[in-house]
Structure 1
Amino acid sequence: MEKLLVSACLLGKRVRYDGGSLALTDQIVERWLSDGRIVSVCPEVEAGMSIPRKPAEIVAGDGEKVLSGETMVAEKGGVEVTDEFITGAQVALELCQRFHIKVAVLAEFSPSCGSSAIYDGSFSGKKVPGMGVTAALLRRHGVRVFSQYEVAAADEMIRSLGE
């Protein structure tokens, strides 16, 4: 049975920077849970970051640029947390490798998990196209990354891999 990686906050775990969650109430996710398909991760918590913690954004770029050393992740106030975000991404990748995971559903707009859009680094609430650090690292290693808005597409992918 194909497993998939899912952001812990999407499963109702209160791991977000503000101590909240983004719990999904979706029949597909419920089926994945009952089937035992889900491996849960919060890259930031896995890297040792606290709950709650200061909000963080990628400065002038996206996860690809963070991984290539061209930019950084900083907390509101300017403290750099790039190493923590890279460590969290590596933990997520190790889980994918351990469980042979080829599909991930991650929280959109997160500097770790955003798959198509993230905040622009100005802490103004502006979103820009781009990936978070974890999404970028997983994609580099062949994992297909979806957001919580693409659960049906992720389910189709899981079903096609299982055939």
Structure 2
Amino acid sequence: MHRLALLEKEVLQDRLALQRDEARRAKASEDQLKQRIKDLEAELEGARSEGKAIYAEMSHQCRSLQEAMQTRTRKLEEEVKGLREQLELCQREAEAAQREAKQALGERDQTLAQLRAHVADMEAKYEEILHPGPAPGQAESREASVGRGCAETPCQAQGAAPPVWTQPPGSLKP
């Protein structure tokens, strides 16, 4: 029995040794896993910090871009407003200039008509001075001679002003 007891004691010691080895290996595995967990947690925390930093930077850039866009929008709106005011002013000035031009053209046309009437009146008086009163029955002959000196040129036929003198200067022929 003694041998059996010794054998049992040896088996028991071997089992205890195996259990201790397994316990050591389990403890080592546990320590490795705990270290791995700590490493992963540190890595996760680093990633979170980096993510927060990136988010903060992106938020800052976004706000900066929004502010820049708002500033640019305000400037463009002010520029558009100024350009519209300039356009309205130019349109009013153009309308006023157009009215003035129409008025000036009307005044010119009226002055030309008055000058033409005056020239025609002067020519008639000139003809009267050159050819005093017709004798009875000679009125038709006088009108024919006056008509001869006032023949229309192609320019006059198109509406141009008639010349002041119908005969060349120095020619006072009836």
TM-score by length of 1: 0.20
TM-score by length of 2: 0.19
Q: Which has the higher contact order (CA 8 A, sep 6+)?
A: 1
Task: Give the structure with higher Rg (CA).
Answer: 2
Please state which structure has a larger fraction of its residues in strand. 1
Please state which structure has a larger fraction of its residues in helix. 2
